[in-house]
Amino acid sequence: MEIVIGCDNAAVQLKNTIIDLLKAKGIPFEDMGCHSCGDPTYYPLVAKKVCDRIIASNYQKRGILICGTGLGMCMTANKFRGIRAAVCHDIFSTERSILSNDGNVLCLGERVIGPELAKRLVSEWLTLTFKDGPSTPKVDAIKRIEEETMK
């Protein structure tokens, strides 16, 4: 698995913490910015870069998006066909984002959670894989709605 990661200027420190974690685990990643707290790039533009890379990989890559709350990144990411992003600030939501919803983008808020919790959430998220089962019809319904509304 390869990760595409990005943040806005409110979350550079947490993004760097997560990058250190990915390096320690030997997980390949692409860093789509921001690279400094002074970078004025708006979070929707970073989310677009990350989502475009996931789509270009034929959804083989997953994304991690970080901003102050995770909310703006998540709202933007979910505007892209085939992207299922979730804001996760606890283990249960993180697990369910994959196991129940076949999510492919994890959104975090630097101003909401600390670095140790973020590392734990990312570590758990990286181990999870969606399996065909009771949630499959629900994910299929999401995909059908997406096809109807994202023409």
> Which sequence positions are flagged as catalytic?
67
Residue 74 near residue 107 (C-beta atoms within 8 A) = yes
Contacts 24+ apart (CB under 8 A), 95-99: 95/124, 95/128, 97/125, 98/125, 98/128, 98/129, 98/130, 99/128, 99/130, 99/131, 99/135
Quote the CA–CA distance of 73 and 8 in Å, as a whole number. Answer: 9
Count Cβ atoms within 10 A of the Cβ of residue 151 and give its class: 0-12 exposed, 13-18 middle, 19 or more buried: exposed
Q: For 127-149, give one letter per residue: b (16+ CB within 10 A) or e.
A: eeebeeeeeeeebeeeeeeeeee
